[in-house]
Structure 1
Amino acid sequence: MNGFGKFRAKDSAAREGRNPQTGETIVIRASKRVGFTAAKALKDKVNG
């Protein structure tokens, strides 16, 4: 869709996390996540 924005895959590094039930430290594996950048036309319509 033209004038909407761009989706892209971002790399997420491995990191430490915590199990909320036990408090145990765990390793969260590296993965990919989605990033979105809104186009100027979309920002202008949303912000009036």
Structure 2
Amino acid sequence: MNKQELIDAVASATGSSKAMTGEAIDAVIGAITNAVVEGRTVQLIGFGSFSSGERAARTGRNPATGEEISIAAAKTVKFTAGKTFKDAVNGTAK
């Protein structure tokens, strides 16, 4: 499902216009992004949590040449699925 399909599905489920639904989805994504950029965790009970993490610098290998390369440290975004979401995916939701 891409963003437009998500907008269509939410608009259909809520009876809202696609334009208003698109703005709402953009606002939600923006709020989550801003919070994670600031180092905060966004927890949506039943769905999951978005947070930032750190990946340490390390040495890797170029798969084509086998040459060792240095991989710089980086910040990452983590998503941890909530129990309700996991249960729905696994078909064990009540």
- Give the TM-score of the pair, scaled to structure 1: 0.80
More strand by share: 1
Identical pairs, percent: 58
With normalisation by structure 2, the TM-score equals 0.46
Q: What is the aligned counterpart of 2:53 among 1, 5, 10?
A: 10
Please give the root-mean-square deviation of Cα atoms over the aligned residues, in Å: 1.4
1:25 corresponds to: 68
Moved over 6 A (4+): none
Corresponding pairs, count: 48
Q: Which amino acid aligns with 1:46?
A: V
Unaligned stretches of 5+ in structure 1? none
Matched residue of 1:45: which SS? Answer: helix
Q: Distance in 2 between matches of 1:15 and 1:38?
A: 28
Larger Rg: 2
